[in-house]
Amino acid sequence: MSNKEIASQFNELACLMELHDENQFKIKSYTNAYLNIKKLDQDLLTLSLEELQTIPGIGKSVAEKIVEIKQQGLIHQLSQMRSKTPPGIVQMISIRGLGPKKIKQIWKELEIETPGELLYACEENRLIELKGFGPKIQNDVKESILFFQSRQDSFLLSTLWTPAEQLLQELRQLNPDVQIEFTSALRTYSPVVETIELICNSHSISLPDSIQLLTSEPNQILGKLHDQFPVSIKLCSTQDFIYQWILTTGGSSVDSIKHSSYKTEHEAFEASGQLFVPAECRHLESSQPIIETELITGQDIKGVIHAHSVYSDGLYNLRDMAKECIRLNYQYLVITDHSKSAFYANGLKEDRLLDQWNEIEILNKEFAPFKIFKSIESDILSDGSLDYPTEILARFDLVIASIHSNLKMNKEKAMERMLNAVRNPYTTMLGHPTGRLLLSRKGYELDHELLISECARYAVDIEINANPLRLDLDWTWIPLCQQHNVKLSINPDAHNLKGIQDIQWGVRTARRGGLLSKNCVNSLSLSDFESYVNVKKARLKNH
């Protein structure tokens, strides 16, 4: 269980306690625990009660509940709170924009107990009867419910990947003479996955104890892994395996593959008169051939761009972040703490910027040839301008421009802000362009074609935010970026040491979109990246 999953139990507990008018002090304590734990990168379930209590923000009561999670999988008090709360009310906690105060009003005053009832109430304009609600809030609630319902029974790729890999290993150990592989969404690195799908070249296999068998048919087994994740195993003959593997992987090239016995996928593509398409790229509609050896890989990434330290809302100091990058064999770190308008994230005012720059110079001498670049994640303000006066912006090595506030915009307003930022000569790169959170927040609507063409015109690069909750820019727009020669950067947006390794999810989504290594900013070596920075700065002087 991840720290974010542990944190979510404390968040749910605090929300349910508030619904039932429990002790406010304890509610605040568990809310703080949620906020602290989700940022931590230590594996909390490996720590003892005494070790847990040494972590800032985790007191004795919270530590004891983490031990309960370790032993039982669930906080006992949370189980009690759930038992006296209608299941539909518990579900509402997961609907973005519905805090416990609003849920309590809906429950107690309208006697609504399920998301479906709430959606119907929105259709009948019943929410506007409640104090503090109005037509706009009612419409926002309706949209949130629809999004919530559309994402039920779906999982982030990062959530399913580790248990799926463990399952695959178990199946191969139990069935050493059978070829078993991932297929469908997992194999093609879909950002959101509904089922762990596998395929094997046998009609009879042994299953590990971790799988609860639901149905077993001659050509398919359905089950649940750890009573949580749906599993589907396609069964076929050895002669039919390659064809069925291609078929279940899916994509635009499937229809032209003839049903026959093949030894390899390359052979199947060749027999159909096609160039081989890597599995993760098969959903691309591209007229250009995709050369597998030219696609971006994790080994191609030479530097870490977009990371936060204790100067803003990160958990680690600059030294620790740099040392972790060095340990992972990266050549440089672009530190991009939040700008001053991001008060919610301890954004840097000018005096603290100078302190950070001084520390960077000291560390660069110590860690050479590794290099830290003086950069910022600048808020795109409501009018599209960037934080800081131009004399400060001019001193950064890079500026990542991102929207963090006033996210509920129509397309026109979103484009106004983004285009103003793109046309600002100090913008190096756009960060998480749509502001989406997968399975949680849809993100604001953009005219991607116009935005990408303007990025090409003003030589602004675009981030693929590798946080598995974001994966933003979406993979579907990668081909258009490459057509316009807009460079992309695979950035972890790391707020702790472990977050640096989120680059792997960005690489996977980049490969799904067909990103070539030559078009990725942080595939540049340190010397080439320094040249890249200098070219950007020279453009400013000529502006």
Q: Which amino acid is at 342?
A: A
Provide the sign of the torsion angle of the four alpha carbons 231, 235, 239, 244, taken in this order: negative
Q: Decide which of 133, 150, 167 is a domain's last residue.
A: 150
- Could you tell me if 383 and 471 lie in one domain? yes
- Could you tell me if 111 and 218 lie in one domain? no
Which pLDDT does position 124 carry in this prediction?
Answer: 63
In DSSP notation, 392-440 reads: HHTT-SEEEEE--S-----HHHHHHHHHHHHTSTT--EE-STT--BTTT
- Could you tell me if 146 and 243 lie in one domain? no
- Could you tell me if 385 and 436 lie in one domain? yes
Provide the sign of the torsion angle of the four alpha carbons 287, 293, 294, 297, taken in this order: positive
Name the phi and psi angles at 488, rounded to 5: -115, 150
- Could you tell me if 527 and 461 lie in one domain? yes
- Could you tell me if 387 and 244 lie in one domain? no
Number of domains into which the chain is organized: 3
Q: Is residue 301 part of a domain?
A: no
- Could you tell me if 334 and 354 lie in one domain? yes
User: Rounded to an integer, what is the distance from CA 139 to the centroid of its chain?
Assistant: 26
Which pLDDT does position 287 carry in this prediction?
Answer: 64
Whole-angstrom distance, CA of residue 352 vs CA of residue 358 = 10
Which pLDDT does position 521 carry in this prediction?
Answer: 98
Which pLDDT does position 227 carry in this prediction?
Answer: 83
Q: Is residue 105 part of a domain?
A: yes
> CA-CA-CA-CA torsion for 101, 21, 15, 134, nearest 10 degrees?
-10
- Could you tell me if 99 and 167 lie in one domain? no
CATH of the domain at 399: 3.20.20.140
What is the 8-class DSSP label of residue 38?
Answer: T
Q: Is residue 288 part of a domain?
A: no
Q: Looking at 84-174, list the stretches that DSSP marks H as alpha helix, in order from N- to C-terminal side.
A: 87-92, 100-110, 115-123, 135-150, 157-174
Could you list the residue range(s) of the whole structural domain that residue 21 is in? 3-150
Which pLDDT does position 421 carry in this prediction?
Answer: 97
Which pLDDT does position 189 carry in this prediction?
Answer: 97
Which pLDDT does position 289 carry in this prediction?
Answer: 80
pLDDT along the chain (543 residues), means of 10: 90 93 91 90 90 89 93 92 91 85 89 83 74 84 80 86 96 97 97 96 95 94 92 97 96 86 95 92 82 96 96 93 98 97 89 96 98 97 95 96 91 97 97 90 92 97 95 97 97 93 97 97 98 88 61
Is-contact 3 37, C-beta < 8 A?
yes
Token pair, residue 137, equals 């809030």
Which pLDDT does position 295 carry in this prediction?
Answer: 97
Token pair, residue 242, equals 């390659």
Which pLDDT does position 150 carry in this prediction?
Answer: 67
Q: Decide which of 93, 125, 150 is a domain's last residue.
A: 150
Which pLDDT does position 113 carry in this prediction?
Answer: 87
